[in-house]
Amino acid sequence: GVKIVTIGGGSSYTPELMEGFIRRYDELPIREIWLVDIEAGKEKLEIVGEMAQRMWDASPYDVKVRLTIDRREALKDADFVTTQFRVGQLNARVKDERIPLSYGMIGQETNGAGGIFKALRTIPVILSIVEDMKELCPDAWLVNFANPSGMVTDAIIRYGKWEKVIGLCNVPVMAMMEEPKLIGKTTDELVYSFAGINHFHWHRVQDLEGNDVTSQIIDKLYEEENGTPANIFDVAYFKEQLKQMNLIPCGYHRYYYRYDEMLNHMLEEYNDPNIGTRAQQVKQTEAELFELYKDPNLHDKPEQLTKRGGAYYSDAACETIASIYANKNTQIVVSTKNNGAVPDLAPDDVVEVSAYIGAAGARPIAFGSFEPAEKGWLQLMKSMELCVEKAAVTGDYGVLLQAFIINPLIPSGETAKRVLDELLLAHKEYLPQF
């Protein structure tokens, strides 16, 4: 049987993962699942861990859920390691969002100054997990969900020298779930091509005869539910721009294409004591979820989980693992080494692309070059990410400042440096490299 280890097991998303594994048990015969957390997450781990065991007990399968804060004990002989941890918990995210907003800049979990600092906290931890894996489970696959998923996955390969990794995000899953309905089709009746980097990718769509239907979908995006995740304020894109691109941007492009509107919306929520930043709102949802998980009669993933931005993430995670295990060659959108699929970026850059997933991992599907507007954004954003990763590994202040100055959501100058310094201080305990 297969041994799965989930790091950050105390996450409220864990029941989502269990549901995905239960559904796929016939192709992925799991023996045991180890949920790993840290001292600070022990209470959550116990509550959600018992909920996870109840879900298995209510299924026809005999699977044991083991809970531990000893990561090394869990990793021994693992087959798949999934990562869904948040260094510094939600309180650190509150700082990532509030500090930039207090200076009038976008404060967001994976974008702008906040996203940069989430990477600085997460990359050292993921690299230490990789070192443990080299020793304790050298043949295992690492399936990363921890954000910023693209930078974290890139750092695993570039600095951790660990190639058996796949990075995931639920944004493409949601787009492929909702958009086909807009034009009266099912996902199976369309061919999706994604390319770019995590939270900064675009896609085009064809029907089974090879006709491009992107423009048809673009028209409908303005009329109905369009698959934007719950955490992103749904300002409409400029239609003229999308028509010109003939590509559909991901939900996160709004922060760049509609900067003013997104910033104003975030400032409004930030300044309203009854609303607050997204992290503060998520704290509420999380508290509700954990109250539900405590109910000994609950054995199913509750509806409330769809209020989280990462809803349906198990579809990507569990399908990826089943596809590797059973060599299914399923098409999934993943963060993986480019290898030429996106010629506008270097072959060894991690990109987020449609790929075939099988026993040998991800084989990215060639997308081709972008037009100048998209190409410029993409190269800038990837370069910014590379500066962040380097800063995360070396603790080099200069390269971190470069990342701030390049980042399109951070107006450069004295204020940028002040925000940087304040974030460094606020997150000190999670930034051993600085």
61 carries an active-site annotation: no
Interaction of residue 146 with ligand NAD, rule CB under 6 A:
yes
Name the catalytic one among 159, 192, 252, 256: 252
Residues in region 1-30 near ligand NAD by CB under 6 A: 7-8, 10-13
Binding mask 138-177 toward Mn ion (x if CB under 5 A, else -) reads -------------------------------x--------
Interaction of residue 125 with ligand NAD, rule CB under 6 A:
yes
The residues facing 350 across adjacent strands are: 337
Which residue from 58, 90, 360, 373 is in contact with ligand NAD, where contact means CB under 6 A? 90
Binding mask 158-177 toward ligand NAD (x if CB under 6 A, else -) reads ----------xxx-------
CB closer to Mn ion, 3 vs 93: 93
> Cβ of residue 311: shortest distance to ligand NAD, in angstroms?
9
What Å distances lie between residue 27 and 2, 222, 284, 324, 331, CA to CA? 11, 39, 37, 11, 17
Residues in region 293-312 near ligand NAD by CB under 6 A: 309-310
Which residue from 170, 193, 336, 407 is in contact with ligand G6P, where contact means CB under 6 A? 170
> Cβ of residue 124: shortest distance to ligand G6P, in angstroms?
20
CB closer to ligand G6P, 231 vs 402: 231
CB closer to ligand G6P, 136 vs 171: 171
Residue whose C-beta lies closest to ligand G6P: 309
Binder of residue 146, out of ligand G6P, Mn ion, ligand NAD, none (CB less than 5 to 8 A by kind): ligand NAD
Interaction of residue 252 with ligand NAD, rule CB under 6 A:
no
Which residue from 229, 249, 276, 364 is in contact with ligand G6P, where contact means CB under 6 A? 229
Asked if the bond preceding 148 is cis, omega within 30° of 0, the reply is yes
The footprint of Mn ion (CB under 5 A) covers 169
The footprint of ligand NAD (CB under 6 A) covers 7-8, 10-13, 36-38, 40-41, 44, 84-87, 89-90, 109, 125, 145-147, 149, 168-170, 309-310, 313
Q: Which sequence positions are flagged as catalytic?
A: 252
